[in-house]
Structure formats: C-alpha cells, structure tokens
Amino acid sequence: MRRPVLAVAALLAGCSPKIGDPCTVSTDCSLRGERTCDLSYLVGGKGECTIEGCSRGTCPKKSECVKVYTTKFLSVACDPEREDVATFGDDPDCIDGVCSPLDACTPEEVCLPEGVCADEVSARTSCRRTCNKDSDCRDGYRCARTGAEGLYLAPTPEDPRSEDTAKICVPAP
C-alpha cells in the first residue's frame, strides 16, 4: 500500500513550480512559503514565481539572484571608477598623484557601472529564471543580459563591485 502513496508523492514533487513560472498568488509557487508570486509586472494577467531577498549562490537550479534598482530614478550622473574611491592620476585636481573620491551619489545610493546613481535602499534581490535565448522564457518574456538598466547580478561579499553578468527572463516591452 505504501508504494502508490510514494509514487504519487514523487510525481507531485517533480511538478512543483519553478522560478519564473506564472502565478496569481504565492501559493501557486509554494505551499511552504519559500517562494512568492511577484505581481510587479503582470504578463497575461499573471506574475512570476520567485524567491525574494536572496544572495548570490542561494537560488535553485536554472535561476540567479538578481538585484533590481528602480530605473525611474536613475538620473544623477556619477563616475563608477571614482565614486567613493580614491584613485591615482595626474589630473590637476589630484594632490601628489592621489585623486580624492568623487561624491555625486547620496550616502544611500550606489554608482552603477553605466554611470548613474541608484537608490540602494529601494533595490531588491530575487531569484530570476536564467536563459540562453528568448524561447527559454515563457510567453511575454524575453532573454536579457544583466549589467545595465538597473538589473544586476547580486554582489558577493568577497567582491561587491563585481560586474559579472547572466542572462535572465524579463517581461518583454
């Protein structure tokens, strides 16, 4: 009698929703609560299953931890090489070859690699489905590379300024 129960349990475990699957409520993603339904972008009236508050290396297979900055506030220019970092050079503003850090961003902002300040407080991390091409994503999504437009791989404590990239599924415009 136990074999049919085990077979059904194994079958159900294999059918559990994956990161990026469509959803309307968080229980569509997990009954245990470790995955949530992100409804910030609805595609076909549905959000997508994700894990919020991740860090690099903690996401399930075929997903990456991505940090998303609110793009509507990316307007203040900064120099990612010199923001909050002293450098060496022969610029006339440098004293004895040491150039003072620039400070275009406020204390709660970070200078993104494309040269704009982004609010670190409102940024969020979540596991997102990885892809190689558009057809790897569900309908209404496309495969996009992180590293621009407020979408980055979550940093690691060992290398917080890393500019590693990945390809993830994002809502198509």
Q: Are residues 170 and 144 in the same domain?
A: yes
The answer to whether the predicted template modeling score (pTM) of the entire model surpasses 0.85 is no
Residue 14, pLDDT score: 52
**Both 56 and 132 in a single domain?**
yes
Same domain, 75 and 64: no
| Per-residue b or e along 53-78, where b marks 16 or more CB atoms closer than 10 Å to that residue's CB | ebebeebeeebbbbbbbeeeebeeeb
CA 167/CA 28 separation, integer angstroms? 25
Same domain, 47 and 90: no
Whether residues 152 and 133 fall in one domain:
yes
Q: What is the mean pLDDT of each run of 10 residues along the chain (173 residues)?
A: 44 70 95 92 93 92 92 80 78 81 87 87 93 96 90 81 87 88
Domain count, the chain: 2
